[in-house]
Amino acid sequence: MEKIKDIVLQIADLQSKSSDKYFPKGCFASYRSNYLWFYKRPDANIFSTAITIFTLNQIKNKCDIFTQKLISDITLNAQNAYHLFENKQGFETYNFFQTKPSKHFTNGFVLKYLDFLQLPDDIDDTAMVYLTSIPDKIQLEKLQERLKFHANTSQKTIVNTFEEYKELPAYSTWFGNKMYNEFDACAMSNILYCLAYYNLSFDKHAISTLLYLESVILTNQYIIQPFNVAHHYASTPVIMYHLARLFADFDRLDSVKVKCKLSDDIALFLDKKTVKGMDRLILETSYLRLNPNLQLSNDEQVLALYAPDWNFFIGGFLTAFENQFIYKLSSCSIFHMKWSCEAHCLALLAERLSFQH
């Protein structure tokens, strides 16, 4: 566990100690980039921080007392920044970018001046903030109402998905009234994780969301067309990571067949020599979640997989367009912004090492 302690110390050192021109106090440095544009900028978003905090708290109980205290301190520092990303109108939701005041695509020369690029709140950021804070019962009930209000078919019907899901009343990524409906398997996994973690009842929208996740596994859509399954992740290993975490942690989902299929698919990916680096690292974590007490690699092999600038999620500039010609172009990398966060990559490394012991 000494290696995990050292990693958590590194993460603590990366946390912003005071608000500066790039990152608010308590947040972790994150960068958005598109190397086809020769573009890279510091990006002050809450998601990179919240997923780092969530991952650390996932392994907290496996750590020694010193490391547990350190994770608690890191968590508290991050929580103190969450209010900067709250919904402007006072709803119980959170935004990727700062809302008080509004700061989208920070530290850029052009994008921050384009108001149409301001994003509405979303289920992904909201789920991660809720999972790394202490929401009360009223907040959780209001969140469920917001989820229901913005779910597919409640106000409008999704266009950019597989034909068989267009009438499925599952959760949409966005809370914005003017925003298109969207299904993203990773964001859906996170919001279902949030509901299950707080032991909230699953209504028809949550059940439909679960059905979507099960279906994309059983039909191999998450392997064949990962971008269409999860626009903001677009990677089969990353989708597998989210799904394995959800299905492994909650028996109430009662998805034995799906878990077996997912485990077998992950094993097939791990057999591929082309799967390397952080992709392999999170796949090993995912496989060990579903198959505890196995040993896949030694510590040195795990450490060799680490990369500090790995991209965990993306943003697609054309996914909002419901014109099918434009939507087909949306999967091209030239239209993607990619995000990286060293602290989160370290947290993923610590998480993987936690399964060694």
Model confidence pLDDT, tens digit, residues 188-236: 999 999 999 999 999 999 999 999 999 999 999 999 999 999 999 999 9
Q: Which of 8-12, 190-194, 251-255, 303-307 has the lowest mean pLDDT?
A: 251-255
DSSP letters, 66-109, are HHHHHHHHHHHHHHTTGGGGB-TTS-S-B-SBEETTEE-STT-S
pTM: 0.95
Residue 116 confidence (pLDDT): 45
pLDDT in tens, 17-38: 987 888 999 999 999 999 998 8
**For position 102, what pLDDT does the model report?**
67
Q: If pLDDT is split at 50, 70 and 90, which confidence band does 108 have?
A: low
Residue 108 tokens, joined: 């850029």
Stronger pLDDT, 317 or 169, i.e. the higher one: 169
Model pLDDT for residues 143-164, shown as the tens digit of each residue: 999 999 999 999 999 999 999 9
- As a whole number, the mean pLDDT across the chain is 93
322 falls in which pLDDT band (50, 70, 90)?
confident
Q: Is the confidence at residue 259, as pLDDT, over 70?
A: yes
pLDDT exceeds cutoff 50 at 113? no
Residue 280 confidence class, pLDDT cut points 50, 70, 90: very high
**pLDDT tens digits for range 50-92:** 999 999 999 999 999 999 999 999 999 999 999 999 998 889 9
Cα 229-234-236 angle, rounded to 5 deg: 80
pLDDT of 235: 98
**Is 129 in a helix, a strand, or coil?**
helix
Average pLDDT over residues 115-134: 88
pLDDT at residue 242 is higher than 70:
yes
Which residue ranges form the domains of the chain, and what is each CATH number?
Answer: 2-313+341-354 (1.50.10)
Least confident of 57-61, 120-124, 223-227, 294-298: 294-298
Which parts of the chain fold into alpha helices (H)? 2-14, 47-59, 65-79, 123-131, 137-150, 185-197, 204-218, 221-224, 226-229, 236-249, 256-270, 277-290, 299-303, 324-329, 342-354
The edge-to-edge listing of strands for the beta sheet with 31-34 is: 39-42, 31-34, 336-340, 311-316
Q: Give the β-pairing of 31-34 and 39-42.
A: antiparallel
Percent residues over pLDDT 70 in the chain: 95
pLDDT at position 326: 86
